[in-house]
């Protein structure tokens, strides 16, 4: 997971670098919450460019972060989501809460 913070935009970019399943979510959750609470950003972007796989554990992870971020007044966006992951996100209804940009779409 790569984290970068743009101070002038109060923008936190969290780039996932592994497959997201029940095994990997615990570590991601702890780090993401730490970074979100540390910066209290205006906007958080989760970048899925390097994520080739995600199952329903990822839905729980994203919903949890969405709740925490909203409570702190931060917006959440997903970027570079591949179509197979988008299919799962769509099924969960999370697409109605969080703005999602698919991979290859401007």
Partner 1 sequence: MLSKYDNEMRLEFLSKSANEAFARITVAAFASQLDPTIDEIADIKTAVSEAVTNCIIHAYEDTQGIIKLHCIIQDNSIIIEISDNGKGIEDVNIAKEPLYTSKPNLERSGMGFTIMESFMDKLSVESVLNLGTKVTMEKTIKKAKNILEEQENKCTTA
- List the one residue out of 51, 69, 62, 50 whose CA is nearest residue 93: 62
Specify the residue, 38 or 83, whose C-beta has the smaller distance to partner 1. 83
Of 34, 38, 41, the C-alpha closest to 13 is 41
Q: What does the DSSP 8-state code read for residue 48?
A: -
Q: Which of 10, 92, 97, 101 binds partner 1 (CB under 8 A)?
A: 92
Q: Residue 59, interface with partner 1 (CB under 8 A)?
A: yes
Q: Which is nearer to partner 1, 6 or 88 (CB)?
A: 88
Beta bridge partners of 77: 45, 99
Q: Does 95 bind partner 1 (CB under 8 A)?
A: no
Regarding 91 and contact with partner 1 (CB under 8 A), the answer is yes
């Amino acid at each position: 997971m790569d984290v970068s913070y743009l101070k002038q935009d109060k923008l936190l970019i969290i780039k996932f670098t592994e497959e997201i399943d029940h095994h990997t979510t615990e570590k991601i959750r702890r780090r993401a919450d730490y970074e979100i609470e540390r910066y209290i950003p205006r906007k958080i972007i989760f970048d899925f460019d390097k994520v080739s796989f995600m199952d329903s554990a990822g839905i729980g992870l994203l919903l949890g972060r969405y709740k925490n971020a909203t409570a702190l007044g931060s917006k959440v966006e997903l970027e570079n989501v591949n179509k197979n992951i988008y299919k799962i996100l769509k099924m969960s209804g999370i697409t109605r809460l969080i703005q999602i940009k698919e991979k290859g779409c401007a």
